[in-house]
Structure 1
Amino acid sequence: MSQVWDWLQRISMGWGGAIALGSAIASGGAPAIAAERLVIQLGAIETTVEVADIETFATTGATPERFARYERFLTPAVQASLNNRLSLDPAVRDRFMADLTASPKGQQVLDLFAKIAPQLPPETLIDTIHAAAQDPDGLTALSLLRAIPTEELTIRGGVLMAFLWQLGLAQLEQATLSRVLTVEMWQPVRRMSRDVDPAAEGPQRVRHWSLNLRDRARDRTIPADLYWSNDPKGPVVVLSHGYAADRRFLAYMGKHLASHGIAVIAVEHPGSNVEALSDDSATILPTQEFLERPRDISFVLDRVSELNQISERLRGRLNLDQVTLVGHSLGGFTGLVMAGAQINPSALADYCTTLSPSQLAPADWLQCAATEVNWPSDLDSLRDDRIARLVLMNPLVGEFFGDTGLSHVQVPTMMLTSTNDSVTPMTTQQLRPFEQLPNAQALIVVVGGTHLSVGDPSNINAALTQIPFMPELPAEETERLRQYLNGMVMSFAMQETPQAARYRPFLSAAYAQEFSTPLVPLRYREQLPQNIARWLRLSDRLDYYLAEPWPLVASLLHLELIDMQHQLVALQRNAIARLPFSLPLWGYLHTAPSFYLAAAAIALL
């Protein structure tokens, strides 16, 4: 029961924030009538809840008498979710609302709310959201209730519980996968000996140029930061930021690599950077940005190549023919396209038309926006042969490339995923794509990491961290992760140089685990563990043959059984370590019914 309630707590906070986010996206007048009662229908049973009682609990934490039977569920976490406030720039609110009402995915969400609350069809719900945004106390779940233009609102509890059940299953699956990956990805290592430390600051003086490069053919100005030194030692590294970030998102990495002689170009994509959130565009992410981002980088490489030849200070020192591209989130998509990945518009369209609202992640809003893109007939026009290596951090991949599009990426690729990333969930955005990449070098798992954990703490867009589904870890907790990324990216880029063998040992589990901490453990493997690969294959088959929610139920069961295996092995090891005669106990545990039950169930799956 406690586990079920944990689900409901996560749901209440996550979707309370999501409702608040939706409510924050518009402006309008306050209603003359506000909801006073909620009538919750569950089959033939009806329960009436007074909104005043909800407000009393939210304000004081005291349980109203009429809520006495539900007291065990009214925890401080639920109280906090009722009081969570969210504020967004008005321009962003309007654009988010436009996307919500105009996109197929947004229409599905509105239709779902209409099924849960029949008195709130889409047009009424939108008016309610407009009114809620004007509450002087800020936008909360309570301000949304106050904005409902009817005294009594009926909630279909069966529909709501079915939706929350599927949402809870999805969240529990991610939590279980995180536990399983932590164990499956671990491997015993020996302490490394070294004559160089790629994570330590280098000896060279870092030079920094800020560039504004005008592309007249596209009527577009691309800002870029060039970090370099007088004694370059390797190929250039290009940094491509994610949505609503800028060229400074990985500034710490640019400075570090340049101190070792590796020149870095941090590109800013003007259509999807911080400023793009507050411009006059009608949508959150203009669809042409999926095309313009790769073109931005190719254009910047062309201009810096010219600068490299004509500048007296550079004097041809930069190697722009073997570029290592580091892409975060949408920047990861950008890198894959430039390395030859083939977009599959039909696969993307099929996915977006069948996706359930309970499965929606922020990444799905972005990738489904790409169904409106007029993709060029020759997708190779976005490819750039100067891209020799890829480092993908929390990349947005999903269904962009179908089942075979990633097979065209032949360059060595590193993939990083974070287990608490609710923006680009690891299963669909990183684990499956990692299996499809023909030249994937390694998967790095940041246990407990979120979508923004790899960023420079002093250069993360503060507005992003206020969104409920984009929490961020304190800077001190992720410091070791950033140090590791500095050393790993440097060692990976140096594989294009005569010093490759010297730096190859740093591309290993041993090196990753040196930077692992109890709060943010790091895992590194060159291939997916067999249990995880088998689970992915099973999930794909179940999605094809079964209707919701059964694929998710079976997937969760499979992961729980793997987790049970881990617990049994841990029990065996602890028992053997404590007892002088271990063989009889070992034999008993291997013949125990629970062990065989778990093993048989996994085999059947």
Structure 2
Amino acid sequence: MIKFQLNRYNSRASRYSNSGKRVDLTSRIGKIGREALFAIVVVISCAIAAPVKAAERLTIRLGPFQQSVEIGDLEKFAETGKLSPALKPYRSLLTPEIQQLLNRRLQIDPSLTEKFVNDLLRSSDGVRVLDQISLALPNSSVEELKAALILAARQANGFSVLSFLRSYPEEDVVVDASAAIAIVVQLNTPYLESIALAPLLEQEMATTDDTPFQSSFDPAVGGKESVYERTVRLRDGERQRTILVDLYWTDRTSGPLIILSHGFASDRKFLTYLARHLASYGFTVASVEHPGSNFSSLSGGSLASNFENILPPSEFIDRPLDVSFVLNELAQMNEGYGSLRDKLNTKQVTVIGHSLGGYTALALAGGKLDLADLREFCKNRSPLRRAPADWFQCAATKLSDDNIQLEDKRVVQAIAFNPVTGRLFGKEGLAQVRVPTLILTGTADTITPSLDHQLRPFAQLGGSKYLIAAIGGTHLSVTDPGNLNDALAQSTLVKELTGKDAEPLRELLRGVSLAFIKQLTPEAKLYEPFLTPAYPESLSTSTLKLRMNTQLPPSIGSWLEVMTMQNRQIALRLPKVNQWLIGGIRLPFSPSTQVVTKAECCTAQLNQIFTDLLNHYNEG
């Protein structure tokens, strides 16, 4: 049987009696609370991603409460969809989707079973996950996990969560549900797909030339120009928005105007290091703060179940309009008599955005929203198997106009770091982007996972394009170190690669961004070598492998085809890639809530925001 113990004390639920005996909660499980109920679903689903002890009983501890169910009842539910009397209190949790997850099987070539498991246990990602699993399974051992994995994987009908539970060499299993929740926040399907793809990106995007990269100068080193800085406050009376803009310029200004657009819950200081670097080469930079989705707009606010409470749907329109408005205002300043006269080239603009700012850049560059496709995607709002940005984009479904035009013809280049795209542009919306575009993806980004938010969108782009892949890079790896509390970032359950470890990526972005923008100047040829695969590879480290190309390798397309297969022997499909990763993504991983210290600054609070959103999730 399975015993569920609930982690959070609830005065409305049954408690321990005065005699110390546990009181049955079967009739009162519905009153325990949404978070505890969701935790149960998470841990059941997590059993597939992070196999848990079980043969006869599974004890999930969530505080002083517990409830028992037979494993056989779960097996019957998986087979027939019918709930036994003992399972009926969990009817809101045991949905058809959960039934499908329990029945999903992974076929592994029997001759590769032991190799499959060993690769899992020895790989760096596997070791990391298993370390976390040890917190969720305090009485487990690697040997027991390995034995259960091998036995379950050898089953004739394939590996599944139920076959694993029956294969575990212990009668009773103890699961710390709060620790399990901490694990599964990193185990949403899009993220794991991206992790599985990382070795292939590293291999297939590598240059075949062994000649070390050489150059007579380093574009990541600051330029010779002295940089002036000034903050201006602009008021858009029509939209009732006050927009702060940090301006960076030099005495000798040339080339396009550069606009910086920050991500959700951040501010205009997010990429200060990049703004100063580009300005030191004679470009004028304007870093825009979006009042409807910056840090200040969220401070002190309470989060409820609706996306509109944290991000108004109109913000998907207002952000690009903020940039267009700022360009109009700067065009007037350029004709004035102050120190900025003739230093604001608003007729030729490069937009650089991070996260939601990446969406902003792509929309301004010509990306067309596809709200019909987005609404179809967002119909099933179950938290299972969704990354935070997959939820986040669904706020836009409330927009009423299906023919929104956000393109600004003054934008002649776009750079998007870890952009939120997902289904916002549908399957063809980014094909409308004809200006040169550069996209950065981080394979360890749990907020905007690489596959759905960068790689597939990159393939759509219609103009000349560059893809930078940071193997091991996370969502906040690009941030200005002076604008992010590194200790705070590392305190979250979703770990971020920041600080010194991420400096090679920031160095690359300084050099590549400069070289990319220089293509609009007479020095284009001089900077072309820094837009070749050899340059990022020269900056790679053991922690962070850096790659760049103008197209997705053909093998990536084949890999995506493998991903769509069900119930196939896929362990031999891609022998050069970690087989457990390729196989593992077919298992029904799911995301969940997490408990973190409330962030005090900028995008470091992203995890908390999505945590609260999921905590208050309401299917109705």
Report the TM-score when normalising by structure 2: 0.63
Amino acid at match of 1:430: Q
Shift of 1:511: 1.2
1:284 and 2:310 equivalent? yes
In structure 1, runs of 5+ residues without a counterpart are: 1-18, 42-50, 52-66, 83-114, 123-140, 143-156, 543-549, 568-605
Question: Paired residue for 1:435?
Answer: 459
Shift of 1:439: 1.7
Match of 2:443 among 398, 403, 419: 419
> CA offsets per residue over residues 186-214 of structure 1, 9 Å max, x none?
12343344343211111111100111111
1:118 and 2:73 equivalent? no
Match of 2:538 among 511, 514, 517: 514
1:267 and 2:288 equivalent? yes
Match of 1:233 among 235, 238, 254: 254
Amino acid at match of 2:236: D
> CA offsets per residue over residues 557-579 of structure 1, 9 Å max, x none?
58754516999xxxxxxxxxxxx
> CA offsets per residue over residues 411-456 of structure 1, 9 Å max, x none?
0111110010011111111111111111242211111111000111
Match of 1:402 among 406, 423, 426: 426
Cα–Cα, structure 1 residues 69 and 361, in superposed 2: closer, same or farther, change >3 Å? closer
1:563 and 2:577 equivalent? yes
Amino acid at match of 1:212: R
Cα–Cα, structure 1 residues 209 and 116, in superposed 2: closer, same or farther, change >3 Å? farther
Sequence identity percentage: 39
Match of 1:203 among 218, 224, 235: 224
Question: Paired residue for 1:250?
Answer: 271
SS at match of 1:321: coil
How far, CA to CA, are the matches of 1:443 and 1:313 in structure 2? Answer: 37
Amino acid at match of 2:368: Q
Q: How does 1:409-488 map to 2 (within 5 A)?
A: 409-460=433-484, 465=489, 468=492, 470-488=494-512
In structure 2, runs of 5+ residues without a counterpart are: 1-5, 27-35, 37-51, 64-85, 94-134, 137-160, 167-180, 303-307, 582-620
SS at match of 2:230: strand
How far, CA to CA, are the matches of 1:193 and 1:68 in structure 2? Answer: 54
Cα–Cα, structure 1 residues 528 and 556, in superposed 2: closer, same or farther, change >3 Å? farther
Cα–Cα, structure 1 residues 558 and 236, in superposed 2: closer, same or farther, change >3 Å? farther
> CA offsets per residue over residues 485-523 of structure 1, 9 Å max, x none?
011101111111111111111111111112111111101
Say whether the 8 Å CA contact 1:199–1:486 is kept in structure 2. yes
Shift of 1:312: 2.5
Amino acid at match of 2:372: S
Say whether the 8 Å CA contact 2:188–2:386 is kept in structure 1. no
How far, CA to CA, are the matches of 1:243 and 1:161 in structure 2? Answer: 41
Shift of 1:318: 2.6
Match of 1:371 among 378, 382, 397: 397
How far, CA to CA, are the matches of 1:208 and 1:276 in structure 2? Answer: 24
How far, CA to CA, are the matches of 2:488 and 2:372 in structure 1? Answer: 31
Of stretches 291-300 and 270-279 in structure 1, the one that deviates more from structure 2 is: 270-279
Say whether the 8 Å CA contact 2:14–2:24 is kept in structure 1. no
SS at match of 1:217: coil
Q: How does 1:10-409 map to 2 (within 5 A)?
A: 31=12, 33-34=14-15, 118=89, 172-189=192-209, 190-278=211-299, 280=301, 283-354=309-380, 357-375=383-401, 377=403, 379-380=404-405, 382-409=406-433
How many residues matched? Answer: 437
Shift of 1:464: 7.7
Cα–Cα, structure 1 residues 376 and 276, in superposed 2: closer, same or farther, change >3 Å? same
How far, CA to CA, are the matches of 1:263 and 1:236 in structure 2? Answer: 5
Amino acid at match of 1:297: V
Say whether the 8 Å CA contact 2:13–2:25 is kept in structure 1. no
Say whether the 8 Å CA contact 2:246–2:268 is kept in structure 1. yes
Say whether the 8 Å CA contact 2:387–2:448 is kept in structure 1. yes
Report the TM-score when normalising by structure 1: 0.64
Please provide the CA RMSD for this pair: 4.1
SS at match of 1:194: coil
Cα–Cα, structure 1 residues 268 and 29, in superposed 2: closer, same or farther, change >3 Å? farther
Say whether the 8 Å CA contact 1:274–1:461 is kept in structure 2. no
